[in-house]
Copies of this chain bind each other. A is one copy, B any other.
Amino acid sequence: MPSNIQIQLDKRPVGEARLSDFKLVVSDTPPLQDGQVLVHHHYLSLDPYMRGRMNDAKSYAVPQALGQTMGGGTVGEVIESRNANYAVGSQVLGMGGWQQYSVVDGNQPGALRKVDTRQVPLSAYLGAVGMPGVTAWYGLVKIIEPKPGQTMVVSAATGAVGSAFAALSKARGCRTVGLAGGPDKCRYGLEELGFDACVDYKQHSSAASLGKALSAQCPDGIDGYFENVGGQVLDAALPLMNAFGRIAVCGMIAGYDGAPLPLAAPALILISRLRLQGFIVSEHREVWPAALEELGRLVAAGQLRPRESVAQGIEAAPEAFLGLLKGRNFGKQLVKLV
């Protein structure tokens, strides 16, 4: 049985999360029982939603338990098996958490999924062809319902969700504008991700100033807005929404540390007859097959080439996660465990 390094939640953050909220623990992996497999994780996914789960507050997910391994998506390889459906050597996607190995009951529905790495790299199943990609797909296709020629805007544009959003939106014939932090991310958004324009929100200290810059890139207004951030960015975009515009509310990362983030002008919801809808992609399993099919096709065809920020080794996970919350990552944040 290999020895397994795990990262547990040690304390609930007060305000901003810190390294001291996490604890590194080493344990042995238990022997397999019938139906179980031992998975060696190759990559761990770090995602903004994890910050919400660290609080013990009303939220859509049950809170992360204290003294338990942090939850999270993983891809890896089956290295021992007592389940006929998963041969040793199978490549699998699961929720293995912040650790090097996991023991999984292969018979539990949804616990593991075999993935095909002939055309899609293994790590992409945690990003473009995984939960973040399907998140972009659901918000765009099911909430925003874009029409060719309309203008779509996404915040956190060069992240895992934003990257997929760009490819999906362009594939539907929409003008696609991103909001990202810093000139490097904006250039990458234009040159690699296919955005028609990218606005650097770090150049603006007020919603009014950001709104003016965004408006210049959206001469026909905004028909669909995919919100990953909230706060000032949402205040900048709301007045630019066209009548009957749709806003998919996927993230409010700026508010996770507990600071109240009001919306300045909710009357615009009425004035512009907008539809705002919050969603959690894990509650819409029915769309995953169609979404993953399209996303896999875009990746295989080279139309979606998302960048990855890769931290090395499980010990690096907490610091990489805190960097993600500050926007220090560039593309999908992963931890490589092999």
Contact with B along A266-282 (1 / 0, CB 8 A): 11011111111111100
* Closest chain B residue to A279, Cβ basis: B273
A270 touches B243 (CB 8 A): no
- C-alpha spacing A58/B242, complex, angstroms: 11
Q: Which residues of B contact A243 (CB under 8 A)?
A: 60
Task: From the candidates B252, B270, B278, name the one contacting A250 in the complex (CB within 8 A).
Answer: B270
* Number of A interface residues in the complex (CB < 8 A): 32
Q: Does A84 touch B at the CB level, under 8 Å?
A: no
CB distance from A258 to the nearest CB of B (A): 10
Query: Binding site of A, secondary structure by majority: helix, strand, loop or mixed?
Result: loop
Residue A19 at the chain B interface, CB threshold 8 Å:
no
- Is A171 located at the chain interface by the 8 A CB criterion? no
- Determine whether A251 belongs to the interface, using a CB cutoff of 8 Å to chain B: yes
Q: Least Cβ distance of A132 to chain B in Å?
A: 16
Q: Are B283 and A273 in contact (CB under 8 A)?
A: yes
Chain B residue nearest to A59 (CB atoms) is: B271
Chain B positions within 8 Å of A276 at CB level: 269, 274-277
Q: Are A272 and B278 in contact (CB under 8 A)?
A: yes
A323 on the B face (CB < 8 A): no
Contact A230 B266 (CB under 8 A): yes
**Chain B CB within 8 A of A260 CB:** yes
Query: Contact at B58–A271, with CB atoms within 8 Å?
Result: yes
Interface presence of A261 (CB below 8 A)? yes
Task: Tell whether, in the assembled complex, residue A234 and residue B274 are in contact, meaning their CB atoms are under 8 Å apart.
Answer: no
Total copies of this chain within the assembly: 2
B267 touches A255 (CB 8 A): yes
B-chain residues with CB within 8 Å of residue A59 when the two chains form the complex: 271
CB interface residues, A 273-313, toward B, < 8 Å: 273-280, 283
**A62 on the B face (CB < 8 A):** no
Contact of A273 among B60, B252, B264, B271 (CB under 8 A): B60
Task: Tell me the A232-267 residues at the B interface (CB within 8 Å).
Answer: 234, 243, 249-252, 255, 260-267
Chain A residues in the interface with B (C-beta under 8 A): 58-60, 230, 234, 243, 249-252, 255, 260-267, 269-280, 283
**When chains A and B are docked, how far (Å) is the Cα of A190 from the Cα of B20?**
55
Closest chain B residue to A254 by CB distance? B267
Distance between A212 CB and nearest chain B CB, rounded to angstroms: 16
13 contacts between A and B (CB under 8 A): A60-B243, A230-B266, A230-B267, A249-B266, A252-B266, A252-B270, A260-B265, A261-B265, A261-B267, A262-B263, A269-B277, A272-B278, A276-B277
Q: Kindly state the separation between the CA atoms of A271 and B250 in the bound complex, as whole angstroms.
A: 9
Interface centre among A58, A243, A266, A275 (most CB of B within 10 A): A266
Asked if B230 and A271 sit within 8 Å, CB to CB, the answer is: no
Chain B residue nearest to A270 (CB atoms) is: B278
A269 contacts B278, C-beta separation under 8 Å = yes
Contact of A252 among B263, B267, B275 (CB under 8 A): B267
CB closest chain-B residue, reference A60: B271
Q: Can you name the residue of chain B whose Cβ is closest to the Cβ of A275?
A: B277
Q: How far is the CA of A58 from the CA of B272 in the complex (A)?
A: 9
